[in-house]
Amino acid sequence: MAPVRLRHPKGVTTLQVDVNSDTYTVLDLQQAIFSATEIPPSQQDHSVAHFKLSTLCFATSRSPVKAGYPPQPLTLIPELPVSSLGLKAGEQLILTQKSGAQSRPTAPPSAPMTGLTASQVPARAPVPKTGPDWVEMADGSYLIHRIVPDDNSCLFSSVALICAQDMAKATQMRQIVADAIRNDPATWNEAILGHPREEYISTILRPSSWGGAIELTILAAHFRTELTSVDVETGRVDRFEPPPATASGLRGVLMYSGIHYDAASVAPAPDAPPDFHQTLVPVAGEDDAVMRAAKKLADALRAKRAYTNTATFDLKCQVCGQGLKGEKEARAHASQTGHAEFGEY
């Protein structure tokens, strides 16, 4: 038997799974999950449950379960041995229940589950709205505003948080963009970039330079994941999609305030620790539950005036120090001087 860690809306449990056995079946694993979560096997498959392997998603959607990143088919057939799933000792499974599935009251993530079933743990009291903003969704999960540092690398930090589960990997995101531009001169030519290619590459590798649509397009293709940006001020939604042939069917959500990007992720409770957050979610339409929540989150941030009007904000060129008013002057200054690094006063 080998330990396999199961994270789920009702807590965290370590399951003992005979991962190499020919007699321990997939149904045995599903029953073990049921014992820990009270989500029966019938609701762990066929578009009712979404699983996440370690920090990478595998999901059911009336098709085989998928594993890894990009997702690869992984079919749950109860009669097969669990070895057919390719699980390894120490693997981590994260289970969330899809909207519409019936479940019992959810326990706080910190509640000890050993020796208890979820129904024996008192239901969570309403959580006061403190800390980061959040929106409750119909299935009882929450879309959480994940704030990243305001350090000119916010786009890269947000994508790193979404796609690598570690905002500290922002520098790696910059390198991915630089390599993509360097390796594809036909697509990323001087006319598209607005600057000589080597100059653009050199600039984007500096931690003081901002990213935008070009960077999101490249990162969406690299991670084979739709990156969706919701503008706080206007509610506009911009989708940066990977090529259809390589698309994973997953989406990451960013909140854009005019000069700053943050991430958003799904969690079982507003105060759930980071390990419980799902940063990549299945794309279930242009206006699915997550996108509706993202728009409500933008509404909440707009009500707090948590955005910057880019037509009127004050900027400073980080190269020559010239003061500028709004994005229009910044673009004109960049065109005249080649300077492409700006900071807000």
Give catalytic residues, as residue numbers.
151, 154, 260, 339
Q: Which two tokens stand for residue 74?
A: 């992984």
**Residue 2 is encoded by which pair of tokens?**
């080998």
Please, what's the b/e burial string for 221-258 (b: 16 or more CB within 10 A of its CB; e: otherwise)? bbbbbbbbbbbbbeeebeebbbeeeebbbbbbbbbbbb
Angle at 295 between CA 294 and CA 300, to 5 degrees: 95
Whole-angstrom Cα distance, residue 268 to residue 285?
22
Instruction: List, as one string, the DSSP characters of 161-221.
Output: HHHHS-GGGHHHHHHHHHHHHHH-TTTS-HHHHSS-HHHHHHHHTSTTS---HHHHHHHHH
Rounded Cα–Cα distance for residues 141 and 154 (Å): 26
Question: Could you give phi then psi for residue 332, rounded to 5 degrees?
Answer: -65, -40
CA dihedral 322, 326, 330, 333 (to 10 degrees): -60
Q: Quote the CA–CA distance of 179 and 339 in Å, as a whole number.
A: 22
Contact yes or no for 145/297 (Cβ under 8 A)? yes
Q: Is 311 exposed, middle or buried (0-12, 13-18, 19+ CB in 10 A)?
A: exposed
Q: Which residues lie below 8 Å from residue 189, measured CB to CB, with a gap of 6+?
A: 197
Which secondary-structure segment (H or E) carries 261? strand 261-267
Contacts 24+ apart (CB under 8 A), 239-246: 239/286, 240/213, 240/216, 246/70, 246/221
